[in-house]
Amino acid sequence: MTDPRLAELTRLLPALKLSVDPGDMEHHGRDWTRRWTPAPLAIAWPASVEEVQAIVRWANGHGVAIVPSGGRTGLSGGAVAAQGELVVSLDRMNRVLGFDPIDRTLTVEPGMALEAVQNAARERGLLYPVNFAARGSCQIGGNIATNAGGIRVIRFGNTRQWVAGLKVVTGTSEVLDLNRGLVKNASGYDLRHLVIGSEGTLGIVVEATLSLTSLPPPSQVMLLAVPAMDALMKVFTEARHRLRLEAFEFFTDEALRHVLAHGAQKPFEEEHPFYVVTEFDAVDGQAEADALAFFEFCTGEGWVVDGVIASSDAQAASLWRLREGITESLAPHKPYKNDVSVRISAVPAFMEEMQALLAAEYPHFDVVWFGHIGDGNLHINVLKPTELDNAVFVEQCEHVTTLLVETLIRHGGSISAEHGIGLVKKPWLSSVRSEAEIALMRGIKAAWDPNNIMNPGKLL
C-alpha cells in the first residue's frame, strides 16, 4: 500500500483484508444506480467488531471518510464511494451468532445475505418475513441501514419491525448494544430505531438480533388482469376485505413486455394495461371459495378481465417472476428511478395526477410503473433512450422529479418510500422533512459522528 494512511492501517491491523485492486474498487465503489464513477481510497473487509472499531478510530485520526458496504444493491447512491472514502465491506462478517427458540430471535452478523437469514430462520422452523427480489445479494446490515421494505410489507411491515437488538459502532468508535432483544423496554430514546434507516451516517451495524415469527399457513398466488388504473385500488380494497393478504403488487403492460423479453412466460393470450400479483392465505376450502368469490365479484364489476391462480409452487414462482424480475429486465435501459409513497387512501387521486404529469413531461421516454400499491408505494422507472447522454437524461428526469415532488407534497407523500435518500434524492429531502426535523437530524449526526466520517454527503 503506497498511501501512507493505508500503510498505517495495515500496521495497526496486520490481519485486515485490504484491497486497492481496480476490480474491487469498481465493484465496491458503486451501487445499482451506476451514476457515479467509483473512486474509493481502498476497500477493507473487517472480520470482527474490534477490527471495525479500529478502522473507525483510524479514520477519525486521519480524517478519512467511511462508506459502510453491504450487497451493493442500493438504488439511491447511499453506498457509493466516489470521493476517496474507505469502503468498509461487511462481506466477511456473515455468520449466524445465535438463536433463541424462546425469544424466537436470530442473532446475525451484518454481512449475511437476506436470503441466508431467511434460510437460517426456516431451518429453525421459523420465518424472517421481510422479502424482496434482491434477497440473494443484498445484506441484512444494508436492509437495516435503509429500513428495507419489499413485497410483504402489507402483512409483516418493514425491516424496522423485526429488529429486536442492534450492535453498532458509532462514528466515535464506541460500541452500542441497543435494546438487547427486549420486547418491552421503556427506558427513554430508542437509539436502535435511529440507526434503522440512517443509511450508514451514524455508525456501522456490526450485529443484529432479529425477531422471527411462525411459518405462514399455505398460500395461493393469483395474477389478475386489470383494464383501467382506477380499478386497481378497488380491486385492492375488495381483496383486503375478503382475503388475508400477504402481498398485493401491480405492474403495467410495459413492465410485462420487458420481463417477457427477459425470458419470463406470458401469462395471458391478450395484453392488458395493468396486472396485479396477489398472495393470500389459503388455509382451507373456505379460503379458496373466498378467492373465487372475490375474483367473480371483481370481474362482475368490470375491474378485472382475466386471472389465473397458481396450481403449483412452480407456477406461483413464475407468476412472482413477472413482478420480481422487472428491475433486472429494465437495468440495461439505465432507468431513472422514482420510489414514492402516499397514504394508501391517497393512491387513486395521486396516480391520476401523476399519470397526467408523466404523460405531459415524458412524451418521448418510456415510463414503467410497478410496485407495492397495497402499501401506497409506487416505483416509476424512466428508461434512457440509447442515444441520449446519461447526464442530459438525468437532468431532464430531475426536472420532472421536481414537479412530481409538488404533487407528492399536495398528497402528503414521500420522495423515498423504501430505497432511501442517499445521493439521488438529497435535493428533495426538504419536501418530506421540515426544517426543524432536518436540523434535529443534523444534530443527531453530529452527536454520533462529530468528525463527519460516517458516509458523509449521503442523506443530509
In the complex, the residues that contact ligand 2HG under the rule CB under 6 A are 132-133, 327, 337, 371, 379, 381
> For ligand 2HG, which is the closer residue by CB, 18 or 260?
260
Select 105 or 327, whichever has its Cβ closest to ligand 2HG. Answer: 327
**Of residues 324, 206, 225, the one with CA closest to residue 276:** 225
- Taking the complex as a whole, how short is the minimal distance between the CB of residue 214 and ligand 2HG, in angstroms? 25
* Angle, CA of 92, 94 and 100, to the nearest 5°: 150
- Cβ–Cβ < 8 Å for 140, 232: no
Please, what is the minimum distance in Å from the beta carbon of residue 377 to ligand 2HG? 8
Taking a C-beta distance cutoff of 8 angstroms, is the pair 109, 206 a contact? Answer: yes
CB of 324 to ligand 2HG, least distance (A): 6
Strand 274-281 to 336-341 pairing: unpaired
Residue 311: all three cell numbers together: 396450481
**53 pairs with which residues across the strands?**
none
Q: How far is CA 56 from CA 44, 202, 350, 397, in A?
A: 11, 12, 44, 37
Shortest separation between residue 190's beta carbon and ligand 2HG, angstroms? 26
Q: Which is nearer to ligand 2HG, 44 or 383 (CB)?
A: 383
C-alpha cell of 60? 477519525
Name the minimum Å distance from CB 102 to ligand 2HG: 34
Q: Could you tell me which residues come within 8 angstroms of residue 342 by beta carbon, excluding any fewer than 6 positions away?
A: 350, 376, 408, 411, 412, 413, 414
Min. distance of Cβ 352 from ligand 2HG in angstroms? 21
Q: Which three cell numbers stand for residue 131?
A: 422479502
Strands of 377-382's sheet, edge to edge? 306-309, 219-226, 274-281, 245-252, 367-372, 377-382, 336-341
Least Å distance, CB 335 to ligand 2HG, is 7
Is the backbone of residue 302 left (phi > 0), alpha (psi -120 to 50) or beta? left
How far is residue 195 from each of residues 157, 203, 226, 440, measured CA to CA in Å?
17, 8, 40, 14
**How many Å apart are CA 60 and CA 38, to the nearest integer?**
22
Shortest distance in whole angstroms from residue 90 CB to ligand 2HG? 21
SS (H, E, C) 187-246: CCCCHHHHHCCCCCCCEEEEEEEEECEECCCCEEEEEEEECCHHHHHHHHHHHHHHCCEE
Asked if residues 127 and 215 have their Cβ atoms less than 8 Å apart, the reply is yes
The nearer residue to ligand 2HG, 126 or 247, going by C-beta atoms, is 247
Nearer to ligand 2HG, 133 or 195 (CB): 133
Find the shortest distance in angstroms from Cβ 368 to ligand 2HG.
9
Residue 418 gets which letter from DSSP? S
Indicate the residue among 211 and 381 with the shorter CB distance to ligand 2HG: 381
CB of 373 to ligand 2HG, least distance (A): 11
* CA-closest candidate to residue 139, choices 221, 210, 230: 210
Radius of gyration of the chain (CA): 23
Nearer Cβ to ligand 2HG (152/337): 337
Nearer to ligand 2HG, 139 or 327 (CB): 327
Task: State which residue, 149 or 165, has the beta carbon closest to ligand 2HG.
Answer: 149
Nearer to ligand 2HG, 40 or 71 (CB): 71
Nearer to ligand 2HG, 46 or 371 (CB): 371
The span from the CA of 108 to the CA of 105, in Å, is 10
Q: How far is the CB of 419 from ligand 2HG (least distance, A)?
A: 6
Asked if 212 contacts 128 with a C-beta cutoff of 8 angstroms, the reply is: yes
